Amino acid sequence: MKIVIVGAGEVGFHVAHHLALENKDVVVIDENPEAVRRVSDHLDVQTITGSGSSPLILKEAGIRGADIMLAVTDRDETNLVACMVTHLLAPNTTKIARIRDPGFDEFHEKFQQQSPRIDTIINPEIEVVKTIHRLMSVPGAADVGEFAGGRLMFVGVYLDATSRLAGVRLSELPAKTAPVRPLIAAVVRGDKLIIPRGKDRLQAGDLVYFISEEDKFFETLAVFDKHEEPVKRVLIVGGGRIGLRLASLLEKESISIKVIDKGSDRCAFLAENLEKSIVLCGDGSDQSLLEEENIRDMDVVVTLTDDEETNILSALLATRMGARQTIAKLDKFSYFPLMKAIGIEQVVSPRLSAINSILQHIRKGKVLSAMSIKGEQAEVMEAVALETSDIVGRPLKEIEFPKGAMVVSILRGERIIIPSGESVVDAGDRVIIFAHREAIPKVEQILAVKLEFF
């Protein structure tokens, strides 16, 4: 598979990194020589310095032989033109564009239907707001994903030192958690991702990923000593595009919302465009302002400014001053491993949301959805098994999945099956597959060659 990536920023770099590890044929284009140099110094991919919207540059990149053109620069207009030029040069190449400006929201469907057609439009800001909303509804969760239209939850929670599961072997879980039987798919311990076996023990501080049916979710969450707590008061620090989208979404619920922003002009804009939220002009990292706004009474504080240090400081201050839950927006992936150590468990990233959205569209086998775990160490994928698939009609224990990959759930109509080795996948079932990074190429090969999906 050949993929041309226009844009060598954080999203372009990390998607290229992900694909290079899977031995894909990747070409990265960017006008910024420093960004191109960073890619060429760290990744085994081809690089070209120039405009990804230029026909000459796209021809040099081999766009006519590319399966996918991915436009992820920081400029919506460049991404749109890159798709248009690609359509003229290589109409059969799949075009995926990142478009963030809210002014384009109502035109996404038209872009996908009319010529020059863009096959997929990704707005990471919309996706990150959905992620924040899910995190707000799941106390103690560090990561939340949904599959099968929300009927199946994939959640990561940190195991507290006081948890009844700390020190317990996985083989002992049924006795400890009965009648609930959570399926633990992965454990992140420090920088290491573990696919646990029955003899492995859970440890305090582990980030534990488990699968749960939606209607049993809070019952399962309680096994990890996390309990549902209603959200009534939310403070949003940063009234940019994401802050505005989040406040507008929360206004549809019975939630008291305050939004803090430094810019007086932006505050006036927010006041005009929000119906129920209280807009405050000030610095969200100002301790006296937070005290004045009764930060200790806030159920959730979400820090969404364009400055990552401000987001971190505001989240730490809010936690120290008594806020029940804090969520910080970060885009520098190098910061992620540090957050738990300094006391921030819930982190969101528009760039990571963009990467997750992109992955499902570039996987062979037409994977329905994909979620990246622990940066780039693993993925959870959802696909549909057809009658011609080798996975159909045989017990899972007889199928040669690569080491580090497993089927964690089977969805058959309205029924959700947590599989065992004896489970058999039927034609038309949806399967949820967890795969470590090293296993992804083999899983993808299975999905594309042996497992045909629509």
> 79: Cβ–Cβ under 8 A, 6 or more apart, which residues?
6, 7, 71, 72, 73, 97, 98, 99
Q: Is the preceding peptide bond at 179 cis, omega within 30 degrees of 0?
A: yes
| Res 279: pLDDT | 96
The per-residue b/e assignment along 292-317, b for 16 or more CB within 10 angstroms, e otherwise, is ebebeebbbbbbbbeeeebbbbbbbb
| Res 441: pLDDT | 77
CA separation for the pair 176, 161 (Å, rounded): 16
CA separation for the pair 234, 345 (Å, rounded): 17
CB burial of residue 69 (10 Å; 0-12, 13-18, 19+): buried
Mean pLDDT by 10 residues, the chain (454 residues): 93 88 90 96 95 96 95 94 94 92 82 79 89 85 82 88 89 85 85 83 91 85 83 95 95 93 95 94 92 92 94 94 92 79 86 80 67 74 77 82 84 85 87 84 66 42
CA separation for the pair 327, 313 (Å, rounded): 12
Contacts of residues 397-404 at CB distance under 8 Å and 24 or more positions apart, as own/partner, are 397/421, 397/422, 401/439, 401/442, 401/443, 401/446, 402/435, 402/438, 402/439, 402/442, 402/443, 403/439, 404/195, 404/378, 404/435, 404/436, 404/438, 404/439
| Res 366: pLDDT | 55
- Would you tell me how many other CB atoms lie within 10 Å of the CB of residue 200? 16
- Name the strand (E) or helix (H) holding 338: helix 336-342
Q: Provide the 8-state DSSP code for 372.
A: E
CB burial of residue 271 (10 Å; 0-12, 13-18, 19+): middle
Tell the residue number behind the tokens 């990150």, with chain if given: 128
Torsions phi, psi of 108, nearest 5? Answer: -55, -45
| Res 363: pLDDT | 67
Tokens of 271: 């006041």
Q: Write down all domains in the chain, each with its CATH number in brackets.
A: 2-122 (3.40.50.720), 140-223 (3.30.70.1450), 233-348 (3.40.50.720), 363-450 (3.30.70.1450)
Tokens of 152: 């199946």
Q: Where are the beta strands (DSSP E) in 214-287?
A: 233-237, 256-261, 278-281
